Amino acid sequence: MIDNLAVEADGFTSNVFLVTGERTVLVDAGNGFDVVEQIRERTEELDAVVLTHTHPDHVGNLEAVTDAFGVDVWGFDPDAPGVDHELAEEATITLGDDDYTVLHTPGHKDDHVCLYAPEPGILFAGDLIFENGGFGRTDLEEGDRQLLLESIDRLLQITDEDLSALHAGHGKSVTVDPYQTIELAHQAARMR
């Protein structure tokens, strides 16, 4: 089961996905709301935190989560504050009951990753792609439009029309034709 804990959060935060099952994992920690209480309302144990990237809106609550649950944090850059273990390119990590492939997808930030599970057709897209063809900002430090386009191209090649869900770092998850959302983001990013 995948549950967005930030749906009712006030202020600027990323989405925070609690993925329950064999291995209960938090994808991103969000910022500025009591995510620990949100987790405790749903489960007694947390096995790990996995970061799509380390912008403040995705990691602001990280210390509170690690203090409360004593879990390790996985991210692409093992030297980033709060990251305990590296999510290596094309490594496999279990979230809930499914195995996800780590895809390094820079452009929004150098340490950005997407997580893709082909069997259930689920993609955690972080801030690379949003509903309705939106895409991540490239005007922040480490932003690069060409790299962002290459990362979106990569998702188009790796996923297909069987994609069943795209969970973005902000906004709603896409469960109706999520592959088309990637195509729209690709077109929009090329035009701007």
> Where in the sequence is the domain holding 150, given as residue range(s)?
2-191
Give me the pLDDT at residue 190, please: 87
What pLDDT is attached to residue 147?
97
CA distance 3 to 107: 27
Q: What CATH number should be reported for the domain holding residue 91?
A: 3.60.15.10
Q: Residues 115-137: what's their mean pLDDT?
A: 97
Q: What average pLDDT does the chain have?
A: 96
Q: Please tell me the least confidently modeled range out of 8-12, 67-71, 77-81, 114-118.
A: 8-12
Contact between 122 and 173 under an 8 Å Cβ cutoff? The reply is: no
Coil vs helix vs strand at 45: coil
61 pLDDT more than 90? yes
Angle, vertex CA 109, rays to CA 94 and CA 190, nearest 5: 105
Structural domain count of the chain? 1
Q: What single-letter amino acid sits at 84?
A: D
Report how far residue 61's alpha carbon sits from residue 77's, in angstroms, rounded to the nearest whole number: 18
What value does the mean pLDDT take over residues 161-171? 97
81-106: average pLDDT: 98
Q: 110: which residues sit within 8 A by CB, 6+ positions away?
A: 77, 142
192 pLDDT above the threshold of 80? no
Distance CA(167)–CA(124), nearest Å, equals 5
**29-54: pLDDT as tens digits:** 999 999 999 999 999 999 999 999 99
Neighbours of 182 (CB within 10 A): 25
Residue showing tokens 């430090």 = 141
Q: Is 2 in contact with 96 (CB distance < 8 Å)?
A: yes
